[in-house]
Amino acid sequence: MKQAKIGVYGLGTMGSALALNFAEHGFDVAVSNREVDWIPDFVREAGSLGSHIVPCETLESLVGSLAIPRVILFMIPSGKPMDQMIEKVLPLLDQGDTIIDAGNADFNATRRRFADLQVKDIHYVGMGVSGGEKGARHGPSMMVGGTTHSWQQLKPMAQAIAAKFEGTPCVAHLGPDGAGHFVKTVHNGIEYADMQMIAEIYGVLRDGAGWSAHDIGTMFAEWNKGPLQSYLIEASAEVLHAVDPETGQAMVDVIQDQAGQKGTGRWTVIEALKLGQSASGIEAAVGARSWSADKGARELAQSILSGGTLAQDVPDQRTLAAAFEAARILAHAQGFAVMQAASEEYDWALDLAEIAKIWRAGCIIRSELLDDLAEVLGQKMPAGSLVLSDKLQPRLDTGIPALRKVVGAAVMAGWPVPALSAVLGWYDSLRCGRGTTNLIQAQRDFFGAHGFERVDAQGRHHGPWGTSET
């Protein structure tokens, strides 16, 4: 029997596309799935690529079809399913074999699994894959965590199937254990913020100016030709132009306004907070999806709650574009700050410039901006901060006034812009050399004797609370 180079278990949307991608690049790939009845159809539909596919009805035959040391990639839901599959496959493996979890996984689980398997001399790779179905099929961006040994095994195959940016594969070994899954999680967090901010601009134009979906789509298509070029802007333009074949209405107008979420955005926020960071743009985006789920309450509130609003003109397209550009820079800066903090906490030595580079093609957040970020992150940044870099400062100088106009108008008119306003709030907090947490410290000391530092003396101090007259 043919000894395949890699096994792919889980032939759903992503797994089947990845398997075909491996096959197209000449790698013999053994495939299997929980439901196996349709695997012969999958191989038949693969056409000429079928000659590189080894269909397997059982996990045992999948493992038996692989060249040694074995590499098995799982593309299944994270959490319990992955733990169950590890339990099943482990007795079939030998020392030196590699298990790859290519799904979106909580990096804490990846670290745990990595450690559990390391003592058995089984390599565990947590690999983030971005690009959706098309990316997986024709070139995803991949963020790899794990041992150097497993990276050496995987590298030729990963580089072959990855998206290419000016010829360079968009895949990298980013660090040990959970590093790859952590970076993919933050990638998704930035994806959430970017999507939310695009949706907020759409909302301002739809509800503030009465623009049609089609016209908003046309504006985004224009934006996509300049510095705002990105896959998500392109995708937004395309979906806003789409028409529902059943009603003839704009497709987005017949889609329920309740967004799903599978966890990566939430994980980014949770991990950011644990690391003492706050990715406020991502937080707002996660919150907006959660609020969207409460449709009943929103519909009721619309008829009960007064807005106290003041009519506003919708800012012009140039202002909206400049505002979005600034907000997007800030949301990316927050995401990179979270990765920097994680890198220090877990001793990963993440190469942030390399991360920006492998996000320039194949992945969902690919954009012109990432090319600039790759350059900036490769240099020394003042106080380690992206937004203080010489390259981004001029763009913020132009964009921030526009962002103020948009957020200001939205606040007055009552158009919800939680993510745009959250990143602006962060920007303004960052600009305050002397902020207002001196009062927080005084309050904490007042009720809890927590102590504070003085501006004019070393050490811990307490206030004279209760002694002054009020």
Output the known binding site for substrate.
Answer: 104, 130-132, 187-188, 192, 262, 289, 444, 450
Among 66, 364, 402, 424, binds ligand 5RP (CB under 6 A): 364
CB count in 10 Å sphere of residue 332: 26
Give the nearest distance from C-beta 188 to ligand 5RP in angstroms. Answer: 5
Which of 411, 433, 432 is CA-nearest to residue 420? 411
Q: Using the rule CB under 6 A, is 110 a contact of ligand 5RP?
A: no
| Cβ atoms 172, 354 nearer than 8 A | yes
Of residues 400 through 459, those in contact with ligand 5RP by CB under 6 A are none
Q: Using the rule CB under 6 A, is 194 a contact of ligand 5RP?
A: no
Give the nearest distance from C-beta 340 to ligand NDP in angstroms. Answer: 24
| Cβ atoms 367, 348 nearer than 8 A | no
**Active-site residue among 5, 184, 325, 357?**
184
Give the nearest distance from C-beta 154 to ligand 5RP in angstroms. Answer: 20
Structure tokens given for 98 = 């590699």
| Binding partner of 34, given ligand NDP, ligand 5RP, none, CB within 5-8 angstroms per partner class | ligand NDP
Binding residues: 104, 130-132, 187-188, 192, 262, 289, 444, 450
Structure tokens given for 56 = 């397997």
| Binding partner of 313, given ligand 5RP, ligand NDP, none, CB within 5-8 angstroms per partner class | none
Q: Using the rule CB under 6 A, is 264 a contact of ligand 5RP?
A: yes
| Binding partner of 10, given ligand NDP, ligand 5RP, none, CB within 5-8 angstroms per partner class | ligand NDP
Which of 366, 364, 345, 346 is CA-nearest to residue 356? 366
Nearest CB to ligand 5RP, comparing residues 229 and 261 = 261
| Cβ atoms 74, 103 nearer than 8 A | yes
The DSSP element (H or E) to which 54 belongs, if any, is: strand 53-55
Q: Phi first, then psi: give them for residue 27, nearest 5 degrees.
A: -90, 130
| Residue the block writes with tokens 């996509």 | 224
Among 33, 104, 277, 334, binds ligand 5RP (CB under 6 A): 104
Structure tokens given for 112 = 């745990």
**Dihedral sign of CA atoms 140, 95, 29, 263 in order:** negative
Per CB under 6 A, the segment of 26-34, 41-49, 262-270, 290-298 that binds ligand 5RP is: 262-270
| Binding partner of 69, given ligand NDP, ligand 5RP, none, CB within 5-8 angstroms per partner class | none
Q: Using the rule CB under 6 A, is 134 a contact of ligand 5RP?
A: no
Burial class (CB in 10 A: 0-12, 13-18, 19+), 405: middle
Give the nearest distance from C-beta 79 to ligand NDP in angstroms. Answer: 9
Q: Using the rule CB under 6 A, is 292 a contact of ligand 5RP?
A: no
| Binding partner of 33, given ligand 5RP, ligand NDP, none, CB within 5-8 angstroms per partner class | ligand NDP
Give the nearest distance from C-beta 172 to ligand 5RP in angstroms. Answer: 17
Give the nearest distance from C-beta 74 to ligand NDP in angstroms. Answer: 8
Q: Is 184 a catalytic residue?
A: yes
Nearest CB to ligand 5RP, comparing residues 7 and 128 = 128
Nearest CB to ligand NDP, comparing residues 82 and 407 = 82
Measured CA to CA in angstroms, residue 23 lies from 60, 157, 410 at distances of: 21, 10, 51
Question: Alpha-carbon distance 136 to 171, whole Å?
Answer: 12
Measured CA to CA in angstroms, residue 258 lies from 43, 265, 295 at distances of: 37, 16, 7
Task: Give the interface with ligand NDP as residue ranges (CB under 6 A).
Answer: 10-15, 33-35, 75-78, 81, 84-85, 103-104, 129-130, 132, 262
Q: Using the rule CB under 6 A, is 185 a contact of ligand 5RP?
A: no
Q: Using the rule CB under 6 A, is 130 a contact of ligand 5RP?
A: yes
Q: Is 57 a catalytic residue?
A: no
Question: Alpha-carbon distance 53 to 49, whole Å?
Answer: 7
**Active-site residue among 191, 200, 271, 325?**
191
| Cβ atoms 281, 268 nearer than 8 A | no
The b/e string for 103-129 (b: 16+ C-beta within 10 A; e otherwise) is: bbbbbbbbbebbeebeeeebbbbbbbb
Nearest CB to ligand NDP, comparing residues 126 and 217 = 126
| Binding partner of 191, given ligand 5RP, ligand NDP, none, CB within 5-8 angstroms per partner class | ligand 5RP
Structure tokens given for 229 = 């070029």
Q: Which residues contact 373 (CB under 8 A, 6 or more apart)?
A: 332, 336, 356, 386
Nearest CB to ligand NDP, comparing residues 86 and 420 = 86
Give the nearest distance from C-beta 131 to ligand 5RP in angstroms. Answer: 7
| Binding partner of 32, given ligand NDP, ligand 5RP, none, CB within 5-8 angstroms per partner class | none
Please report the DSSP string for 156-218 in residue order. HHHHHHS-EETTEESEEEEESTTHHHHHHHHHHHHHHHHHHHHHHHHHIIIIIH---HHHHHH
Give the nearest distance from C-beta 215 to ligand NDP in angstroms. Answer: 29
Question: Alpha-carbon distance 146 to 100, whole Å?
Answer: 9
Q: Which residues are catalytic?
A: 184, 191
Q: Which residues bind ligand 5RP (CB under 6 A)?
A: 104, 130, 132, 188, 191, 260-262, 264-265, 364
